Structure 1
């Protein structure tokens, strides 16, 4: 199965844990992508007010403002054309967390620990703004 990945995606990684930041950044690098970093929901909102991002990899549990509240505010503040694609990233997969994430306006949901193939598949669903792409078969030679 070929997965097409837009290599020009502007990504914001919202993650407060330094180890998880490094793991996600390394996986993105292996996929030919890079991300800016925010460590809580307030920083996410600030970053989005200064630059447009195609996708936010949103940790659900962060200090000061969690990913649920940050997503709620993003969906209220930005219109649909300027609003980023938001992918929930969390280790907490029980108790209706997935449904809560999708109900507040997140577009997708992946669980920790991150898996490169799952991450690539989730990123491939983001609406492409530029058609510079890579298929899975080509991606394997990037590693």
Structure 2
């Protein structure tokens, strides 16, 4: 993967933030961190991101509610194309994936974080060519 991306990482766990950021920086991506869903909405409103990596279970506002709010923001802003949102979660039951998609997410990745799997998702969603 050669294309540099602007990524919003929404994750409340500092260790997970470091692991994901370290992996993404190897590919020269710009990573902005939000510690919960509410921060994610504020940062999304302020900036332009190629993709959002969204934890599901967080304090203040969870990833599902934040995704719904981001999709509402995109509708209000009348964006040409919506920003892909990929769930990062320890919940790996079959219905968890479907639930994430039903809330407006584009894909689902189980923790622990795997950069190769994420790169594959980026290609499938055509975030990178």
TM-score with structure 1 setting the length: 0.80
Q: Deviations over 1:40-77 (max 9, x none)?
A: 00001000111111110000111100000000111122
Unpaired runs of 5+ residues, structure 2, are none
> In structure 2, what is the equivalent of residue 18 of structure 1?
14
Structure 1 position 39 matched with structure 2 position 35: yes
Match of 2:108, SS? strand
Within 5 Å, give how 1:36-115 maps onto structure 2.
Answer: 36-79=32-75, 81=80, 83-94=82-93, 96-115=95-114
Match of 1:11, SS? strand
The higher radius of gyration belongs to 1
Runs of 4+ in 1 over 6 A off after TM superposition: none
Unpaired runs of 5+ residues, structure 1, are 134-143
Quote the RMSD (CA, aligned, Å): 1.8
TM-score with structure 2 setting the length: 0.88
Q: Normalized per residue, which structure has more helix?
A: 2
